[in-house]
Amino acid sequence: MVAPGANITELDFSEQVPLTLKQGLNVINLSYGLEEPVSGYRLEQSIVDAARAGAAVFTKAAGNGSVAVDTLADGDIDFLSLDLIGKQSAIFVGALERNGTPENKAKLASYSNYAGSDSEVQNQFLTVGVDSDKIGLSGTSVAAPVVAGYAAILGSKFTSATPTQIANQLLDTARTDTLLNYNPATYGRGEASLSRALAPVLIR
């Protein structure tokens, strides 16, 4: 719904085949977690390898355990998130209760995982509003595809930009003035702002 002009392909994570990228900008939304080491899964290992190489933009749902991305929730940990920490074209996405404004600041949804104390996670963590009362859905699995849509829109303007440049543009233009008691340990880089990300003539 965010980028209706994008070519969308469904990826079935139950089929353990390596990720196949298409020509042009690839944006891969990861609205799921993995509770076992990535090394045992061909698809997820190829995703981590591609994020390390900056071959596509990856938007990863931060999780819904009300904990830091890299910690246990109910005795489990998301190994896919752990392996995406520090990868150049991966973005973790947390959920706000709604989109914020400077006059009406938003806060993190009570269920959403947050960035935590790891500066690498903070540096690649964004938030976006999920107004469950309006859309009937909630969770960071709803927030992540919004940022994926933003990345696709950026790619349609900045056609020569690399996936890492697109990811960095979203991270670098995030807003902090729309968030209640902004703290990078909670909100990472801030609230994703498509208008700010699209503002320059070109990105480097």
What is the distance between the alpha carbons of residues 150 and 191, in angstroms, rounded to a whole number?
Answer: 12
Residue 11 included in any domain: no
> What percentage of the chain exceeds 90 in pLDDT?
81
In the beta sheet, which residues pair with residue 114?
A: 68
Q: Which residues contact 11 (CB under 8 A, 6 or more apart)?
A: 19, 28
What's the mean pLDDT in 107-130? Answer: 97
Residue 1 included in any domain: no
Give the pair of three-digit tokens for residue 185. Answer: 């340990």
Q: Is the pTM of this model over 0.75?
A: yes
**Residue-wise pLDDT tens digits, 83-116:** 999 999 999 999 999 999 999 999 999 999 999 9
Which regions of 136-200 does DSSP assign to beta strands (E)? none
Reported as a pLDDT band with limits 50, 70 and 90, residue 52 is very high
Q: How far is CA 4 from CA 1, 7, 48, 64, 150, in A?
A: 5, 8, 27, 27, 11
Residue 204 included in any domain: no
Residue 68 included in any domain: yes
Q: CA triplet 133, 30, 195: central angle to 5 degrees?
A: 60
**Residue-wise pLDDT tens digits, 22-34:** 999 999 999 999 9
160: domain CATH number is 3.40.50.200
What's the mean pLDDT in 179-203? Answer: 95
Residue 170 included in any domain: yes
Q: How many domains does the chain have?
A: 1
Residue 51 included in any domain: yes
Structural domain boundaries enclosing 88? 27-198
Return the H-helix or E-strand segment holding 157.
Answer: helix 140-157
